[in-house]
Amino acid sequence: MIRILILLLTLLPVGTTAQEATATFGTGGSTLLLRSTTDLSIIRPVMERFTERNPDIRVSYEQWGSNALFEASRNACEGEGVSADAIFTSAVHQALFLVNAACARPYRSALTTALPEARRWRDELWGISEEPAVIVYNSDALEGDRVPRSRFELLDLMRRQPEALRGRIATYDIEASGLGYLFAHADSLEASTFGAMLEALARMDAIATCCSAEIIDGVASGRYHIAYNVLGSYAAQRAGRHIGVILPEDYTLVLSRAYLIPKQAGNAPAAERLLDFLLGAEAQTMLADIGLVMSVDPSETGLLPSARRLIPLSPPLLRALDGSTRARMFHLWANAFERDGGG
Amino acid sequence: MSLASRVLAAVLALLLAGGVCAAFWTLYNGRIAAEKSYDRILLGAASDIAESIRVQRGAPVVDLPVSAFQLLAQAPDDRIHYAVRGPGGRFITGLQTSHREPGRTAAGPVYFDSELQGEDARFVRITRRFAERDFSGEVTVTVGQTLLARQAMALELVTGALVPMVLAGGVLMILAWAVIRSAMRPLDTLSEEFSARDPQDLTPVSTEGLPRELGVLLAGMNRFMGRIDRQVEGMRTLISDSAHQLRTPVAAIRVQAESLLEQEDGPARDRSLARILARTRSLGTLLDKLLSRALVIHRTESAPREVLDLREVALELVEASDHEVLAPDAELRLMIGEGPVMVRADGFSLREAGRNLLVNALKHGQAPVAIGASVQGKEATLWVEDSGPGIPPQIEGSLGARFQRSTASREDSVGIGLSIVVATAEAFGGHVDTARTDGRFRIMLVLPLCPEAPT
């Protein structure tokens, strides 16, 4: 039937190119170049299913870091370098920036127009997934009442047991990770707890590092007790191995991974078909299975609908990329964190 | 083109012209309204950003308020531009785009249109001045947005106004059609009635239930038909009168001429000739009367009416001196007063009527004969008086019938003369009256007094 060829799965040295991994799905004649920040290992079954359903399309999947992908996409928009046919990124503020800079092309279908307002913009940017930003903890180190259910409880915990947690709290390095920066920015807008949280994290000598996998593995191994603002989908992949996941009860940020078709896309029709596939019921079920689409049912997640804060794909996200905003955020961050050195 | 379709076309043209005007007006208004409301949003966002500028260590820094972006997101699908620049155009923060920007102008907000990455966009630029110890100068904030929301709003406003207008126009058209149809229906009925009418039928058309305008038209038409009817009737009368009146004298002349042929020369023949001559003369007089009557009847229908003084009519009759021919010995008195006796009538007809009265009195009455004009209440009277017994009562009773020939009268008799008088009186809204006082007989032509007597 359909043979799935994994041609290349290589970790390339950092610096020469920003691609972290590449793979090809399907054997069709029409090649779709998809640049994504989503881990290949997570998204693989979805891509395989897509090429099964669309045998004429061959998907060339490139996994990128969000900042590098942003850089490459901006350059491609200005005519430098090869443009992707589709971009699928968790750094939605960067995606929104690209659309605002007229780097995307519009597309309308029954599925895209059925999306809620907060998950599409200008018919050029669409939110595919729904993933919470969670607190991950090591279930050996913390259990029972000590597990913080909200940001306030986390703050209390850090105040009560500074010694036990010193150097054992991790979060994204916002300079290295577009996603981490996006969450921090959303936190700064969402609540006054942000200042207190930064202060507490600084007091705890918290570790800021680059990558989801690294953070979660660190929690699993007991190196970190708590990781703050980690993308829930990555945690779900590793849950069970001494790991607990909390959707903060005060509010839980929900990210909708963004999909866009660059203006310079060479194979836009294939990109449109992939978009409709991803928004279709089959792909959405698969995405839910791998943790990319969270349930809205409070009895399943323990999260009240009022605490659910979807980061809307709308112009206010542009503020996140503003030079002065970034400078101030980085300044605050740098004051608070001891750099991990990695990333 | 029928009247109904003309009116309908005019109404349609009016509605269309009005609709086009209103459409342009709403289009213009809609655009202005959309422009204004979204310009306010732009200005609000720019002001928000300008408010957030602070001077820190000798340099302006911006803490971009998210509210500015939320304001701009009121136009949910429009791309955004913003830029903050320090003195000399030094870029502080924002998005780097290339758009045309107007030069420095007044201090207030400057709105301008330009392009944002190939798409039409609207911009506002405001300037904030700083005069701090360590920084002084101007910082400008430029905010721009593409036009999708404006156009959508303008379209919405315009369709919101136009759709009911088009509907109302349609309803108006239907109403106008119905109204015009119902207004035109009497005309249709009327034309049907006329086409169904017998050509000989000159009776008046009923004006009942017709609109007033049509009633006026119909009344005019009825008057016109009445006149034709009367003229036709007059002609018929003239012919039958003439036939009736002429048959006897012409037959008499013929008989006498035939007997003349059989007679020898001599006194008998001369007598016959004299009789024929007398007959012929009287036939001439009769013809004159008949023609004069026909003329009077015709004139009373057709001649324009003038304001006349009856005294003048009486005077003219006396001065015409006809009586001197008829009765050279008779005494004729003119009895007129100081005041005018004004009527509205035809002079010729009045003179004919008066002459007939006078001639009758001279011929059949007894001297002295008097003619005069006087006012009695609201009536003007032209009268003739003599000392005789007057008209025999059986004739007086049927006064004014077409012709009267009493057994006593001769062929040039009073009959036609009186009928002229009666016809004249009736034509001008009056009547003929008689009176006997102190052994004198007076016959009067009574007409309504004309109120607007000339001074």
Residues of chain B in contact with residue A328, where contact means CB-CB under 8 angstroms, are 63
CA distance A257 to A212: 15
CB contact under 8 A, A318 and B94: no
Given this structure, which CATH class describes domain A19-130+256-279? alpha beta
Strand partners, A35: A62, A87
- Nearest CB to B118: which of A102, A117, A325? A102
Q: With contact defined as beta carbons under 8 Å apart, do A98 and A104 qualify?
A: yes
Q: Answer whether A324 sits within 8 Å of B119, measured CB to CB.
A: no
Per residue in B146-179, pLDDT (tens digit) is 999 999 998 998 888 889 888 998 898 899 889 8
* Window from B76-90, B101-115, B155-169 with minimum mean pLDDT: B101-115
Task: Write out the DSSP string of A205-274.
Answer: T-EEES-HHHHHHHHHHTS-SEEEEEEHHHHHHHTTSSEEEE--SS-EEEE--EEE-BTT-S-HHHHHHH
Give the residue with greater pLDDT, B208 vs B371: B371
Contact yes or no for B93 and A322 at CB 8 A? yes
Q: Nearest Cβ partner of B64 from A100, A102, A324? A: A324
Specify the pLDDT at position B415: 65
Rounded mean pLDDT of A246-257? Answer: 92
Q: Which of B66, B97, B116 sits opposite A316 (nearest CB)?
A: B66
Q: How far apart are the first and last CA of chain B?
A: 54
* Identity of the residue in B76, B94, B117 whose CB atom sits nearest the CB atom of A101: B117
- The answer to whether B120 faces chain A, any CB pair under 8 Å, is no
The pLDDT value recorded for residue B427 is: 81
Helices (H), B365-449: 393-397, 414-427
A29-38, B333-342, B357-366: range with highest mean pLDDT: A29-38
Gap between the Cα atoms of B422 and B432, Å rounded: 6
pLDDT tens-place string over residues A84-103: 999 999 999 999 999 999 99
Confidence tier at B398 by pLDDT (50, 70, 90): low
Arithmetic mean of pLDDT, B36-47: 94
Q: How far apart are CA A156 and CA A166, in angstroms?
A: 14
Asked if pLDDT for residue A154 goes beyond 80, the answer is: yes
Residues of chain B found within 8 Å of residue A318, distances taken between Cβ atoms? 69, 80, 82, 95
Using the beta-carbon criterion (under 8 Å), do B77 and A121 form an inter-chain contact? Answer: yes
Residue A244 has pLDDT above 90, yes or no: no
The pLDDT, as a whole number, for residue A24 is: 94
A316/B61 touch (CB, cutoff 8 Å), yes or no: no
Distance (Å) from the alpha carbon of B97 to chain A's nearest alpha carbon: 8
Beta carbons of B393 and B417 less than 8 angstroms apart: no
Mutate one of B61, B69, B72 to test the A interface: name it (highest A CB count within 10 A).
Answer: B69
A190 near B CB under 8 A:
no
Beta strand A207-209 with A338-339 is parallel
Do the beta carbons of residue A274 and residue A61 sit within 8 Å? no
Which residues in chain B have their CB less than 8 angstroms from residue A325's CB? Answer: 63-64, 93
User: Residue A273 has what pLDDT?
Assistant: 95
Same fold, A19-130+256-279 and A131-254+313-339: yes
What is this model's ipTM? 0.83
pLDDT at site B408 = 37
Which chain A residues contact residue B149 at CB under 8 A?
none
User: What is the average pLDDT across B248-259?
Assistant: 85
- 8 Å CB contact of A316 and B117: no
B86 CB within 8 Å of a chain A CB: no
Amino acid at A117: E
Q: What angle do CA B250, B255, B261 make, to 5 degrees?
A: 125
A314 and B77: CB-CB below 8 Å?
no
Best mutation site among B53, B95, B141 for testing chain A: the one with the most A CBs within 10 Å? B95
Quick check: B111 and B120 in contact, CB under 8 A? Answer: no
As a whole number, mean pLDDT of residues A305-330 equals: 89
Asked if the C-beta of B69 comes within 8 angstroms of chain A's C-beta atoms, the answer is yes
pLDDT digits (tens, 9 = 90+) for A64-75: 988 899 999 999
pLDDT: which is higher, A58 or B249? A58
Q: Is the separation of the CB atoms in A231 and A73 below 8 Å?
A: no
Which CATH fold topology does B305-455 show? Heat Shock Protein 90 (3.30.565)
**For residues B440 and A159, what is the distance between their CA atoms, to the nearest angstrom?**
150
The pair of three-digit structure tokens given for residue B343, joined into one six-digit string: 């009527």
Beta strands per DSSP E along chain A: 19-25, 30-36, 57-64, 86-89, 120-121, 125-127, 131-138, 169-172, 207-209, 226-231, 243-246, 252-255, 258-260, 308-310, 338-339
Give Cβ neighbours of residue A14 (< 8 Å, ≥ 6 apart): none
pLDDT at B455: 47
Give the residue from A165, A170, A172 showing the smallest Cα distance to A146: A165
Chain A nearest C-alpha distance from B75 (Å): 10
Residue B196's Cβ-count burial label (10 Å; 0-12, 13-18, 19+) is exposed
Q: What pLDDT score was predicted for residue B367?
A: 76
**Could you tell me the CA-to-CA distances from B76 to A145, B19, B25, B204 in Å, in that order?**
44, 33, 27, 78
Mean pLDDT calculated for residue range B298-321: 82
Is CATH 3.40.190.10 what the domain over A131-254+313-339 is classified as, yes or no?
Answer: yes
With bands split at pLDDT 50, 70 and 90, how would you rate the model's confidence at B47?
Answer: very high
In angstroms, rounded to a whole number, what is the distance separating the alpha carbons of residues A150 and B356?
133
CB spacing of B69 vs A325 below 8 angstroms:
no
How confident is the model over A319-335, as a mean pLDDT?
A: 87
Residues of B in contact with A101 (CB under 8 A): 79, 95, 97, 117
CA distance B72 to chain A (A): 7
> In chain B, positions 143-182, which contact chain A (CB-CB < 8 Å)?
none
Q: What is the rounded CA–CA span in Å between residue A85 and residue A60?
A: 10
Which residues from B are below 8 Å from A121, CB to CB?
A: 76-77
**Domain spans of chain B?**
3-155, 197-302, 305-455
Tokens 């109120």 sit on residue? B451
Q: Is B79 on the interface with A (CB under 8 A)?
A: yes
* Residue A229 and residue A133 in contact, taking contact as beta carbons nearer than 8 Å: yes
Q: Measured between CA atoms, how close is A314 to chain B, in angstroms?
A: 7
pLDDT tens figures, A156-188: 999 998 888 888 999 888 888 888 899 999 998
**What pLDDT is stored for residue B400 in this prediction?**
53
> Is the pLDDT score of B240 beyond 50?
yes
CATH match of B3-155 with 3.30.420: no
> Which residues neighbour B171 within 8 Å (Cβ) at sequence distance 6 or greater?
none
pLDDT greater at residue A276 or residue B356: A276
pLDDT of amino acid B322: 67
How far is Cα A101 from Cα B80, in angstroms, rounded to an integer?
A: 9
Q: Is the pLDDT of residue B391 over 60?
A: yes
* Residue B289: pLDDT over 80: no
Q: Tell me the pLDDT band of A239, cut-offs 50, 70 and 90.
A: low
pLDDT tens digits along B56-67: 888 898 989 989
User: Rounded to an integer, what distance in angstroms lies between the CA atom of residue B436 and that of residue A196?
Assistant: 138
The partner residues of A63 in beta bridges, in order of sequence, read A21, A36
Cβ of B76 within 8 Å of Cβ of A325? The answer is no
Strand pairing class (A120-121; A125-127): antiparallel
Residues A150-153: contacts with CB within 8 Å, 24+ apart? Answer: A150/A248, A150/A249, A150/A250, A151/A191, A151/A193, A151/A197, A151/A248, A151/A250, A152/A193, A152/A250
Of the candidates B44, B70, B58, B71, the one whose C-alpha atom is nearest the C-alpha of residue B141 is B44
What is the dihedral sign for C-alpha A328, A332, A333, A339? positive
Q: Any chain B CB within 8 A of the CB of A322?
A: yes
For B288-323, letters b (16+ CB in 10 Å) and e give: ebbebbbbbbbbbeebeeeebbbbbbbeebbeeeeb
Q: Which residue of B has its CA nearest to A323?
A: B93
pLDDT band at B111 (very low <50, low <70, confident <90, very high): very high
Report the alpha-carbon distance of residue B145 to residue B80 in Å, rounded. 5
Q: Inter-chain contact A315–B61, Cβ cutoff 8 Å?
A: no
Tokens of B341: 């006796």
Does B72 lie at the interface with A, CB-CB under 8 angstroms?
Answer: yes
Looking at every residue in chain B, the average pLDDT score rounds to 83
**pLDDT value of residue A114:** 94
Gap between the terminal Cα atoms of chain A:
41
**Quick one: pLDDT at residue A179?**
86
Q: Which residues pair with B385 in a beta bridge?
A: B370, B442
Extents of the domains making up chain A: 19-130+256-279, 131-254+313-339
When mean pLDDT is compared across A140-149, B78-87, B302-311, B406-415, the lowest value belongs to B406-415
Q: Which residue has the higher pLDDT, A104 or B216?
A: A104
Contact A307, A152 (CB under 8 A): no
Residues A318, B117: C-beta atoms closer than 8 Å: no
Could A324 and B93 be called an inter-chain contact, meaning their C-beta atoms sit closer than 8 Å?
Answer: yes
* One-character DSSP codes across B397-418: HTTTSS----TTS-SS-HHHHH
Least Cα separation, residue A321 to chain B (angstroms): 9
pLDDT at position A67: 86
What average pLDDT does range B251-271 have in this prediction? 83
- Contacts of A212 by beta carbon, 8 Å cutoff, 6+ apart: A39, A172, A179, A230, A231, A234
State the best of B38, B53, B64, B145 to mutate against chain A, taking most chain A CBs within 10 Å. Answer: B64
pLDDT value at residue B352: 84
Q: How many helices (H) and strands (E) does chain A have?
A: 15, 15
Task: Give, in degrees to the nearest 5, the angle at Cα A274 between A272 and A277.
Answer: 110
| Min Cα separation B83/chain A (Å) | 10
A224–chain B Cβ distance below 8 A for any pair: no
The string of pLDDT tens digits covering residues A224-238 is: 999 998 888 877 777
Q: Does B99 touch chain A (CB under 8 A)?
A: no
> Which phi and psi (to 5°) does residue B205 adopt?
-90, 140
Phi, psi angles (nearest 5°) of residue B121: -145, 160
CB contact (8 A) between residue B61 and residue A324:
yes
